[in-house]
Each structure stands twice: as C-alpha cells, then as structure tokens.
C-alpha cells in the first residue's frame, strides 16, 4: 500500500537555527498538509497546499514558516529561526483530491529545539 514518508524521524537543533522537514506524499495525490503535535497536546493544523500554492494556513503558520514543493515528489516545511516552543512532532499528510478522500499521514518528524 502506498504511504507518506517523512525524514528525518528525529531532528535536534539549536534555537535560532533553520530546519527543513521533508515529506514525500503519495505519488498521485494533489493536496498536501502539515500538522504539528506538541507533546501531550492536540494535533494542530498548520497549512494546506494545492497547485503549488498555500490553500489555507492557521495562525500558527507565521512568517517563520514556509512550505515548498521543490520537485514532483517532495513537500517541505521550513522553519527559519527555530524557537523552543517549536519543539513538537510534525506530521505531513496528503490526499488525492476532495475532503471526502482519505488523508494519509506520515509517521512524523520529532523536532527538538534546544
């Protein structure tokens, strides 16, 4: 069964550093999402992406965040200057088309900011 993959599984960085989290969505999917889950808290929506542009973003997704689909397979989330409170599990998801389609989630990247 096709799956969404994410790399790395765990990223440790110093406060103020830039990080790039990578995701490979399912190959024929068209909609892509990033979520985060701070330890012990709910999964929070960050951004949705379609047709090479952001469809929707939450208030969490400020100027420090950006997303890109640099080629036909990768979907990246960049945090320009990490803060301690960015420490969380970050999930990528993709879906074929409409919301009625199933969102497939990756296993997540655990980001630790020191």
Residues at the site binding another protein, with contacts judged by CB under 8 A: 4, 31, 33, 35, 41-45, 48, 55-56, 58, 91, 93, 95, 98-100, 102-108
Residue 40 tokens read as: 């012990």
Q: Least distance in Å: CB of 108 to another protein?
A: 6
> Smallest distance from the beta carbon of 98 to another protein, in angstroms?
6
Cα separation of 91 and 21, whole Å?
10
CB of 5 to another protein, least distance (A): 10
CA quadruple 29, 70, 114, 12: dihedral, nearest 10: 70
């Amino acid at each position: 069964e096709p799956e969404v993959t994410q790399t790395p599984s765990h990223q440790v960085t110093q406060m103020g550093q830039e990080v790039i989290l990578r995701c490979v969505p399912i190959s024929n999917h068209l909609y892509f999402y990033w979520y985060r889950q701070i330890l012990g808290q709910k999964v929070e929506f960050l951004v949705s992406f379609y047709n090479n542009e952001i469809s929707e973003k939450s208030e969490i997704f400020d100027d420090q965040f950006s997303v890109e689909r640099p080629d036909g397979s990768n979907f990246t989330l960049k945090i320009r200057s990490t803060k301690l409170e960015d420490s969380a599990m970050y999930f990528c998801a993709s879906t074929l088309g409409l919301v009625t389609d199933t969102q497939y989630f990756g296993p997540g990247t655990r980001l630790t900011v020191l």
